[in-house]
Each structure stands twice: as C-alpha cells, then as structure tokens.
Structure 1
Amino acid sequence: MLIGRLLRSVAGQAALVATHPYPIDVPVSERDDTEREAREKAEVQRTWQSLGFEPFREDVWVMQPHLSAHGDAVERLEAALAQHL
C-alpha cells in the first residue's frame, strides 16, 4: 500500500517505472537454497504484480503509471484495507 501511494505521487510524469523484484531478506549465506529463493521471489513478484507491474524481460518488471492498471490496483488495495479497519 505504501509503495503504491508513493509511486502514485512520484511517478506521475514518468512514462515507465521499472523494478527488479527480489526478496532482500534472504541472507547471502542462504541464497544457495534455490527452492527457498524461488518461493520467496515469487511472493515478492506477486506483490509488485498487485501494484500493476508486469514482467518485462529477465527479472525486470515494468509499470506504466499513466495507464489505469496501477491506479486501479492501488484503489483495490485501499478498499481491501478499509474493510479490515
């Protein structure tokens, strides 16, 4: 939710926003555990996808803030949060 609102305010004039979704909380010593890394990476990617980002190539995901996908995604998150408050 925080990322969504931040992107809405800082990326308004951008044509494209790119990210490399990766689980930063996996310790370097445990990155040899490819199964864990893949599982946690998929979880992080689902989060970015929920904000309107889509896979582009390799591990880069993109979002076009001027399209409705991002705004709609943030509105859905806000509505879901409001139901839980």
Structure 2
Amino acid sequence: MSAINVYQQHPGNAAKAESPLAHADLPSLVGKGRKNAGVTLREKKLLGHLTLRGNGHDPAFAGGVFKAIGLELPVALTVVANGDMS
C-alpha cells in the first residue's frame, strides 16, 4: 500500500479560474448590511498569488522564473522581495 498522493498537474481546459471567494455569492449580499458600518470590503480577484512548480535546482527553470518575474527563487524558509512584489 502506498501513502503517496498523486495530483493531476495539468487539468486541461475544463478547469475554471475562480477567486477563493467565488463560493460566497458576494453580489447577493450587497446592500444587506448596515448602511454606515465604517468598513469597506472589496475583493481584488486573482491578484498577487502565483504557484510555480518546477525543480528549483535546475538552472534553466530558475533562470526562466527570474526572466519572467524579476525575482530569484527563494530557498527554504526565506522570502525574496523587490519593491512591492515578494
């Protein structure tokens, strides 16, 4: 028996790109709260999060990432930042 999980890495064209809040049906909630709550909540859909999969020890992969986004790949337990991007 194996304890390994196998995931489909290329789900094809059927996969939908949707926000983490897509299930919340936010448009139906507009106007139902207090009029002067003092808090404004907005979702900026699908910004700022990118998941890359590859061999970080492969110079071609690491170089391609740097060329595409302008950041080096981080090593374990570190953060790489350039301006407002990290």
Mark yes or no: TM-score above 0.5.
Answer: no
Structure label with greater radius of gyration = 2
Give 1 or 2: higher helix fraction.
1
Higher RCO, 1 or 2 (CA under 8 Å, sep at least 6)? 1
Q: Using structure 2 for the length normalisation, give the TM-score.
A: 0.28
